[in-house]
Amino acid sequence: MLVHQAFRFELDPSNATRSALSSHCGASRYAFNWGLRLVNDQLEATRKLTVLAIRQGAGVEEATTWARKVTGPVPCSLPALRRAWNATKHEVAPWWAENSKEAYSSGLDGLARALENWSKGRRGERAGHTGFPTRKKKEHRRSCRLTTGSIGVVDDRHVKLPRIGRVRTKEQATKLRELLDDGRARICSATISEEAGRWFVSFTCEVERHDVHGRLPDAVVGVDVGVKHLAVLSTGEVVENPKALGSYARRMARLSRELARRELGSKRCRRTKAKLARCHAKVANTRRDAIHELTSDLVSSYGTVVIEDLNVAGMTAAPRSKPDHAGGHGPNGRRRKAGLNRAILDASPGEVRRQLVYKLAWHGGTLVVADRFFASSKLCSSCGAVKAKLRLDERTYCCEHCGLVIDRDLNAALNLAAYGRRALSVAGSGPETRNARGGAHRRLRSDAPVKREDGTVEPDKTVTAPSQGEAA
C-alpha cells in the first residue's frame, strides 16, 4: 500500500549550520511578510479607487470593476507571488542568494495557502472560521519547507539539505535509509523546524508499506477515552493517563510569573522564555509518546476498534451563567470547570482518533465511530437499561434493574464493543462500512438507546427506541 509518511529526526548542527538553518527560516518568514504586504497594499489601493469612483457617482459594481481593472489582479496564487518576488527580489532583498530559493518559495506557498483558505471560508466552502493572514513575527515558530534540490539521507547519522549541506542527526536514520536504498520510499519534501532550541528535520515520503494485520484480526475492542484514565478497553485493560500538563503546571506557572517581571528584550527575558518553551515541549512530548504507545498497541492487536464521536469543543466550552443555588457555576464552579477543560484537552481525545485512522489503514483494520448521541455511559452493559442521569463524579455504575456494579469507564467500553459488533453485523462485508481508508459507508440502525436530556426517560424503563449509528 502506497502511503504518505513523515520521518522526523532531531539534528545536531554545528554553530555555522545552526546559523544557516535559522537564516533559511528567517528568509521564509521575510518572503511571507513581503507577499502579505504586497497583497494588502493592492487591496487598499483598490478600495480607495472604488470609494473615489462611488463619490463621483458610479455604482458600486461599476466602481469595483473599474478599480480592479486599474490596479490589476491581486497576486493571491503561488505562481503570481513567485513572479512578483522574482521581479523585485534584487531590490527588496539583495542578500537573497545567501539562502536556497526554496526558503522564499516556502514562505510564499504558506501565504498562498492562507489566502486560499480565507477565500474559501468567505464563500462557505471551508468549515470553521479562517481569518485573513497576519504578519509573522520572529518569536513565532520557525520552520521552512524544502521541495527541490539536494535532499536525502547520506548515511545512518547524516542528512543533506539544499545550500545547508550535510547535517548530523542525534538519532539514527537507518530505517529511512534502508527504505530509500530498496526503492520502497521516495522523499517528496523536507521541513526544518525549531522547537525549544532544538532543530528537527521532517522528511515527507511516499512509502510502500506491507504491514501485517493485528494479532486478533476478527476481534472487536471498545475504547473509552477519558480523563482519569487515558483509555479503558472492553477487555478490562486500563491505560493510565500521564497527565503531562499537571506534572509541569506549577513550574510553568512559576516561569510565567518570572517572565512577566522581566524587561522585554533583555537577556534574562530570553533565558526565561527558553526555560518556559522547554517545559511546554516536555509536556507535548510526554502526551505524544503516551498516545502513540496506546494507538500502536491497539492497531497491532485488534482488527476493529470502536471509539466515541466526542464533541470536544462542546465539552470544553465556557460554562453558562446560572444561579449557584440551582447547581450552576459560581466562582468556584467556573474554576472547577476550567480545570476539567484543561484535563480534557490534556488527554487529547481528538489526537487519539486521528492516529487510529491512519494506523488502522496501514494494518488493514476498521475504525467504527459510535454516534455522538450513543448513551455509552448511561447504558447497562448487562441488561440494556438506561439511567436517566449519571453524574460525572459517579465513577461506579450501579444498575437498578439487574444489580450490576461495574466501573463506569469499563461499562462504557463494553457498550462500545457491542455497538461495533452490531454495526459490523448490519453492514456485512467491508465495502459497506467506512474503514480507516475512508471507504463508502451507509447509515446503520441499531437497537441501542441514545443520550437524552435529563428527566425525559424514566429510570425504571428500558429504552428500545433505535438510534442512528455510523461506522466510520
Query: In this structure, what C-alpha cell is assigned to residue 398?
Result: 450501579
Catalytic residue among 109, 224, 371, 470: 224
> Which residue from 219, 239, 211 is spatially nearest to 227, judged by alpha carbons?
239
Active site residue 308: yes
Per DSSP, 374 falls in state B
Report d(CA 419, CA 307) in Å as an integer. 10
What is the number of H-type helices and E-type strands within the chain?
Answer: 11, 16
Listed in order, strand segments (DSSP E) in 325-398 are: 366-370, 396-398
C-alpha to C-alpha distance for 351 and 285, rounded to whole angstroms = 13
Residues across the chain: 472
Q: What cell was used for 461?
A: 424503563
Containing 413, the helix (H) or strand (E) segment is helix 408-427
Phi-psi region of 149 (alpha: psi -120 to 50; beta: other; left: phi over 0): left
Alpha helices (runs of H) in 203-348, residue ranges in sequence order: 244-261, 267-299, 312-315, 331-347
Tell me the C-alpha distance between 410 and 381, whole Å.
9
What letter does residue 149 receive in the DSSP assignment?
S
Query: How far apart, in Å, are the Cα atoms of 209 and each of 4, 7, 178, 179, 361?
Result: 10, 14, 13, 10, 11
The residues near 95 (Cβ < 8 Å, ≥ 6 apart) are none
**CA Rg, the chain, in Å?**
27
What separation in angstroms does the CA of 81 have from each of 60, 146, 366?
A: 28, 17, 43
Instruction: Give the C-alpha separation, 284 to 279, whole Å.
Output: 9
Burial 83-102 (b: 16+ CB within 10 A, else e): ebbeeebeeebeebeebbbb
Q: Which of 308, 346, 371, 470 is catalytic?
A: 308
Identify the helix (H) or strand (E) that includes residue 233. strand 229-233
**Residue linked to cell 435529563:** 454
Cα separation, 471 vs 399, whole angstroms: 28
- So which residues are the catalytic ones? 224, 308, 409
